[in-house]
Structure 1
Amino acid sequence: MTTHTSSPNPDAGRNASPYLYGEEAAAVADVLQSGQYGHTEVTERFEQKVAEFLGVRDAVALTSGTAALHTALLAAGIGPGQEVIVPSMTFCATVQAVLAVGATPRFADIDPATLCVTDRLVMDSLTDKTAAVMPVPFGGRAVNLNPIRKELADRDIAIVEDAAHAFGSRNGTRRVGATGDLTCFSFGPIKNLTCGQGGIIVPRTRTEADTIRRIQMLGVVQSQAERGQTTNYQVDSFGLRYQMSGINAAIGLAQLDHFEKTETTRRALWRAYRRALVSLDDVRLVDVDVDRTVPHLCQDLIPNRDEVHARLRARGIGVGVHYPPNHLQPAFAQWRRNLPATEQAGHEVLTLPFHQHLTEADIDQVVTAFGQALTEARTTPHDGQPQQ
């Protein structure tokens, strides 16, 4: 590994960053010039193209990944008095979606090698109030849902997958989302595929797809075109304004045209990190099963994480923490459980800069600084005096 003495490349100073292929602006301009900015045929084309990419019958585009989670839980009939099993090691949006439908989060622990839930950990969290399980393919790595399905086969419990990190990843030979469960994706600014902001739900049935579309249309029965032909319209259920605009969908369509390159690039960057990190002691790279994953994050578990984080930030390296455990957050403290693997990971996990603007030279520079920070943290106690 080459040692760099110059200041970090600005790309290494960002933990994550959107990546555009150059056609998104023109696609948005076309929508703006059309005068139709809301949910339009552009949105419907995006839905169709995502469904084709995933190998599924239908997909419904929404305003965000959080909106997708909220709507999916509503469509699955989850509500007050019920519990939803969620890993504590996830973005808080997963938990907030559970609260939004009036249900209660039941936090589950994780496999420390993958930061994902397993069937055993799901079953350890099961109660007589469990109505849904929300697995999270952390960092993009697919969760093996088959054992979870098998364990839940004789129970009326929905699987609602929060696949915000995992667009393009595979579960076996199929893409995440094509496994027959209710699946939600996020297309926020720094996701593997971005719409600027947006999300999508893969429904399980045509009836469920209709329910999701009704919810995202504020419970209105008629389509926008049908409403234009009448002096009245009918609202027959609860709903929310969650339709993706044609502007956002146009960005997603342009991104999807280049997704093969996205897959290749993100895997190559993750492998470059893996090669470079082998030389560092006390570093365990979180396993994303890179051959089947389009990685969203590159994470390590290390001792002295907070001190290493501060030292790298002082060097201009854009490290982060994904995520502080949710069961330790003040907003969710009433549902706190003993989750030893999650709490250990919460103290040790460090997210390295990971986005498509990086080069392998940038990664080499990040890892060199990482090694120096680890050495300094190991030899300098908190009182500032060198260890004997």
Structure 2
Amino acid sequence: MSLTASPDVARNARPYLYGGEGAAIASALSAGQYNHGAVTEEFEQALAGFLGVPDVVAVASGTAALHVGLLAAGVGPGHEVIVPSFTFCATVQAILATGAQPRFIEVNPDIGCVEPAEVLGALTPDTRAVMPVLYGGRAVDLSPARLALDEQGVTVVEDAAQAFGSWQGDRRVGATGAVTCFSFGPIKNLTCGLGGAIVPRTPLEADICRRLRGLGIVESAARRAEATTYTVDGFGMRVQMSPLNAAVGLVQLDHFAEAETRRRALWRSYAAALDGIDGIALVDADVERTLPPLCAVRVLNGLRDRVFRELRQHGVGVGVHYPPNHTQPAFSEWQRPLPVTEHLGREIMTLPFHQHLTPADAEHVTSEVRRALTGADQ
């Protein structure tokens, strides 16, 4: 591991590859099955084994996972889905794709996640699902609200796009009983290049997910190859995960212990370096149980935009994750006052965070943050 800070590496997040991904893709290419095949199913089984669950359904993206997961849970037109405004817009677009409507709620600004009291306060007769977003990979425990949700028939569909590898208690996120949706995009804790997965609750739900991802066709690809017809019994999309992507995921999963070690170490390096700097507050990731995909801070005193511009000008790849969705033009129909989220949206900033970075890079970024804060405060 380099002991010298590398500002160019700190500029932007990049996928982290372990070296075997190219050979795995070449092998999948030579097999000649690019839409859905044995490698995809092998990846599903490996994910299920890692999480300790009976089944996992792989799909083309994290957004597709959210869409399919909501549909499998019975969400559709006339329903509401409780969701934090503080999330990536894909979360909301997946809700709208089902024909349902979002009901935006606040988050705890110290952690970026919803709290049970906010969920309970937002319930209406039309609520069919709650979609907690596991911001920064942190698990969300809605057990205090579970009785009320169960009594109303409300399903928890977790947006765990950032939380693969994290824990809730003694179980991995995905093994806690909710419909859980993961993303395996380019800079996630585990990447397939592009991909996602749903953890269903029952064999029936798994079957529904597989039909939804495969154009509503009942029979498997292997069975269709040996038959003269097939059966379409309902709505479906073409959102299967390609074996090419699954091949990358299998290699990544083999090296996941390294991802856990490096990501937690990098987050702790940032936390130590940021400690004591006035004007900035670290968003708590609960790193003992969370596998962090990012390092988020709040820039206080109205200085975020100036500090952001200053850092970008000096080659530090900071970002904003995320602007509140209830203020977006596309979602204005469902806008409601959310002052906590609006304030958080003006403060939030994410620091460069990927496995190419070293503790020295974290020190370099933090020194640039300190310098930018000093300049912005004058």
1:88 aligns with 2:85: yes
- Tell me what 1:242 maps to: 239
Residues 72-127 of structure 1: per-residue CA shift (max 9 Å, x gap): 11111111111000100000010000000000000010011111001001112111
Conserved in 2, the CA contact under 8 Å of 1:189 and 1:196? yes
1:207 aligns with 2:204: yes
Aligned-residue offset at 1:151: 3.3
Alignment of 1:235-274 (within 5 A): 235-274=232-271
Q: Distance in 1 between matches of 2:150 and 2:157?
A: 15
Q: Distance in 2 between matches of 1:291 and 1:183?
A: 21
Find 1:53's aligned residue among 44, 50, 53. 50
Q: Distance in 2 between matches of 1:348 and 1:112?
A: 10
- Tell me what 1:324 maps to: 323
- Tell me what 2:11 maps to: 13
Aligned-residue offset at 1:38: 2.1
1:197 aligns with 2:194: yes
SS of alignment partner, residue 154 of structure 1: helix
Amino acid aligned to 1:327: H
Amino acid aligned to 1:363: A
Structure 1-normalised TM-score? 0.95
Aligned-residue offset at 1:35: 1.7
Find 1:165's aligned residue among 162, 165, 175. 162
Amino acid aligned to 2:335: R
Amino acid aligned to 2:145: I
- Tell me what 1:353 maps to: 352
Alignment of 1:7-156 (within 5 A): 9-14=7-12, 16-156=13-153
Aligned-residue offset at 1:197: 0.3
SS of alignment partner, residue 53 of structure 1: helix
Amino acid aligned to 2:202: T
Count how many residue pairs are aligned between Structure 1 and Structure 2.
373
Q: Distance in 1 between matches of 2:237 and 2:83?
A: 24
Q: Distance in 2 between matches of 1:141 and 1:17?
A: 22
- Tell me what 2:308 maps to: 309
Q: Distance in 1 between matches of 2:226 and 2:41?
A: 20
Q: Distance in 1 between matches of 2:176 and 2:17?
A: 29
Instruction: Tell me which stretches of 4 or more aligned residues in structure 1 moved more than 3 Å.
Output: none
Conserved in 2, the CA contact under 8 Å of 1:189 and 1:197? yes
Residues 235-256 of structure 1: per-residue CA shift (max 9 Å, x gap): 1111000111110000000000
Alignment of 1:257-296 (within 5 A): 257-296=254-293
Q: Distance in 1 between matches of 2:94 and 2:66?
A: 6
Aligned-residue offset at 1:337: 1.1
Q: Distance in 1 between matches of 2:164 and 2:220?
A: 29
SS of alignment partner, residue 82 of structure 2: strand
- Tell me what 2:366 maps to: 367
Structure 1 stretch displaced more, 153-162 or 246-255: 153-162
Aligned-residue offset at 1:263: 0.5
- Tell me what 2:340 maps to: 341
Aligned-residue offset at 1:279: 3.1
Aligned-residue offset at 1:310: 0.2
Q: Distance in 1 between matches of 2:210 and 2:145?
A: 28
SS of alignment partner, residue 180 of structure 2: strand
SS of alignment partner, residue 104 of structure 2: strand
Amino acid aligned to 1:290: V
Structure 1 stretch displaced more, 200-209 or 37-46: 37-46
Q: Distance in 2 between matches of 1:226 and 1:50?
A: 24
Aligned-residue offset at 1:229: 1.7
- Over the aligned positions, Cα root-mean-square deviation in angstroms equals 1.1
Conserved in 2, the CA contact under 8 Å of 1:119 and 1:151? no
Q: Distance in 1 between matches of 2:106 and 2:14?
A: 29
SS of alignment partner, residue 131 of structure 1: strand
Conserved in 2, the CA contact under 8 Å of 1:114 and 1:287? yes
Structure 2-normalised TM-score? 0.97
Residues 1-20 of structure 1: per-residue CA shift (max 9 Å, x gap): xxx9x9x6211111x22100
Aligned-residue offset at 1:144: 1.0
SS of alignment partner, residue 265 of structure 2: helix
Amino acid aligned to 2:83: V
